[in-house]
Structure 1
């Protein structure tokens, strides 16, 4: 990323004090917001059930939608940053998250909450998070400053995951869950405006081709697998729980999961060909063939699986 986002001659090194770290404060605000959004949702379960008539399956779906879309589109968001520029990507992400929180605050329909608000949140995060990392590399060219900035981002993630449920819970208890989402909308609106004050960095010079087909394939595949798994309790695993809703006499859940897996296998084949032809893709072969990278992906997957299970079981069901 050093070769794609460079600051004009050592401008970051010439600044000191508040001027030097003001951009980092803005980036940390964005990172805290993206982490806090999903963490805060976990304590709004009772309110969503009471006011929107959500089922436990709906709550699980709402919790899954944000990380699902964010994860599926994160690398695609990074590719867009190389095409658009990191600052523009940052502001588009903040604007999408602001819009998502407004929809979440004012909708009276749980399906709109899930498929509009939570989906937009996922897309916003998939733009904002890569932009934060890209801007840090572009703004802080000194290795020591860059290490401090990345360390601050890591600390901000921990603070957000700890503080967001507390702040959300306070706003819900004191006012209403809608007020909590309104507060988040205002927060991301402020982040969007502050984006204009970020240090200017040169637009990336590397020319890459955006992988539209790969983005669509991975999104469809992951969405099908997750929806199929989440709907087992509602649709049934093999025998359909609803006689009028089935595929050739069996529950749609398992066929949907198998369809998603098939699409993901097609995605991997496509990525292999796309990387050979264009040199950059969403899922580089090094992720699969390099043992260290592959093991790292397994570890990350396990960590987030446990975290997601805790949020669903430990918090959702306790409410």
Structure 2
């Protein structure tokens, strides 16, 4: 069961980064630009972020396993449509829209089921370690696997590969049992779902418009903030009237969870922002092909694999606060190394130390951040917090690609690479500051531990 859940996180993370090494191939084949591919990648991440909260709420009404399987099917259809895309529009429909919707349906159940099936701190840390390791590896190894497939066959085959992995997950998921029965009587806040999605879309699209029209950027950002303000007013009014909102404002009353969410957002901003920036720079400026770019990213994959799979042992020896702070510190040093060494040496090896450090740092802190948030709430709120947690993480991925990508494509040959990476380092320092305020206690039991009678399962 854990294999199915971890593989699901792997393929969704893979989808967010593997296109980074296909930038030249896709733009030439579909007669588009680097910015066009960036939009496709960002919209995919944005759709996930915008729909993750509604996806989490739907699990309460229709059941975690049913939502999981439905998401897998929608994702597979999107992957196959992307493989056959004749132009950028169809690629965005298949990859950005359908795969994004599928991911929003299947990812919340991954985190809810992991939390419920592993009731104690140690076993849950181990389970989340496996899930987050596969997720991080999917994001870090996406460029390598995508590069190998693109060079050996075609960029289209990478989407067929995704569909095949989905088929494997469907087979494995037959053994999954939902520990909580669905409740068809649970209401669903349609207005809240629309407002939250529209608000997030407007904010990210505003960032993407920065290099084309500053006034359009400002207009979209202001409009997005106003829509999100409308959303929170709607939530407050719905709660005051006794109706169930899309997202309870009580979730934000937990200080530890709030800090954990901030660290999650910045972690994925660093990972996806670095992945897009380095991949685009290597291909467009340095002239590397897909497989050469992917091989360079192996350093990040190895670093992330080593530390992620040690999550259980690290959680037993160090506090979550220590792990998250250490992860951010190592990652920021890695970003600085990427800027300094790339500017001093022309060899591809100049990118390896920085990517290795970023992989090691992210692997150390991905699991404790998730564990802190999920363990702060009882089982009846797992649907809400799981959707919020994944939305915040994917919003970080969207911000990373949008912010760093916008800086990069605005002037690839004018020092934009260094500017983009330095911007990511500043965000990393912000994440480090947030982590410093996490509780000092060892372990992840910083809030209400979910109560469940569900049996423990093996990996």
TM category, shorter: 0.7 to 0.9
Structure 1 position 308 matched with structure 2 position 272: yes
Preserved contact between residue 22 and residue 147 of structure 2 (Cα < 8 Å):
yes
Preserved contact between residue 74 and residue 98 of structure 2 (Cα < 8 Å):
yes
For residue 277 of structure 1, the aligned residue among 241, 253, 261 is 241
Alignment of 1:49-68 (within 5 A): 49-68=27-46
In structure 2, what is the Cα distance between the partners aligned to 1:288 and 1:267? 15
Which residue does the alignment assign to 1:318?
282
For residue 215 of structure 1, the aligned residue among 172, 193, 217 is 193
Q: Cα offset for 1:145? A: 4.3
Which residue does the alignment assign to 1:69?
47
Alignment of 1:23-102 (within 5 A): 23-102=1-80
SS state of the match for residue 209, structure 1?
A: coil
SS state of the match for residue 27, structure 2?
A: helix
Preserved contact between residue 8 and residue 166 of structure 2 (Cα < 8 Å):
yes
Which residue does the alignment assign to 1:6?
none
Q: Cα offset for 1:83? A: 0.6
In structure 1, what is the Cα distance between the partners aligned to 2:242 and 2:18? 40
Structure 1 position 264 matched with structure 2 position 197: no
Which residue does the alignment assign to 1:297?
261
Distance 1:145 1:282, change over 3 A: same
- Length-normalised TM-score, structure 1: 0.80
Q: Cα offset for 1:147? A: 4.0
SS state of the match for residue 57, structure 1?
A: helix
- My pick for the range that moved more, 92-101 or 279-288, is 279-288
Which residue does the alignment assign to 2:451?
none
- My pick for the range that moved more, 82-91 or 121-130, is 121-130
Deviations 1:62-90 (CA, angstroms, capped at 9, x unpaired): 12112212122212111111111111011
Which residue does the alignment assign to 2:86?
108
- Length-normalised TM-score, structure 2: 0.57
Preserved contact between residue 209 and residue 278 of structure 1 (Cα < 8 Å):
no
Which residue does the alignment assign to 1:131?
109
Which residue does the alignment assign to 1:237?
214
Residue segments in structure 2 that go unaligned for 5+ positions in a row? 284-459
In structure 2, what is the Cα distance between the partners aligned to 1:258 and 1:45? 31
Distance 1:151 1:232, change over 3 A: closer
Alignment of 1:85-234 (within 5 A): 85-140=63-118, 145-199=123-177, 201-205=179-183, 208-234=186-212
Distance 1:162 1:255, change over 3 A: closer
Alignment of 1:10-25 (within 5 A): 23-25=1-3
Residue segments in structure 1 that go unaligned for 5+ positions in a row? 1-22, 239-251
In structure 2, what is the Cα distance between the partners aligned to 1:87 and 1:289? 29
Q: Cα offset for 1:169? A: 0.8
In structure 2, what is the Cα distance between the partners aligned to 1:115 and 1:253? 24
In structure 1, what is the Cα distance between the partners aligned to 2:252 and 2:66? 31
Distance 1:175 1:164, change over 3 A: same
In structure 2, what is the Cα distance between the partners aligned to 1:90 and 1:98? 12
Preserved contact between residue 18 and residue 142 of structure 2 (Cα < 8 Å):
yes
**CA RMSD, 1 decimal:** 2.3
In structure 2, what is the Cα distance between the partners aligned to 1:257 and 1:263? 10
Distance 1:274 1:180, change over 3 A: same
In structure 1, what is the Cα distance between the partners aligned to 2:123 and 2:265? 30
Deviations 1:1-60 (CA, angstroms, capped at 9, x unpaired): xxxxxxxxxxxxxxxxxxxxxx11121221211111112122111111111122222222
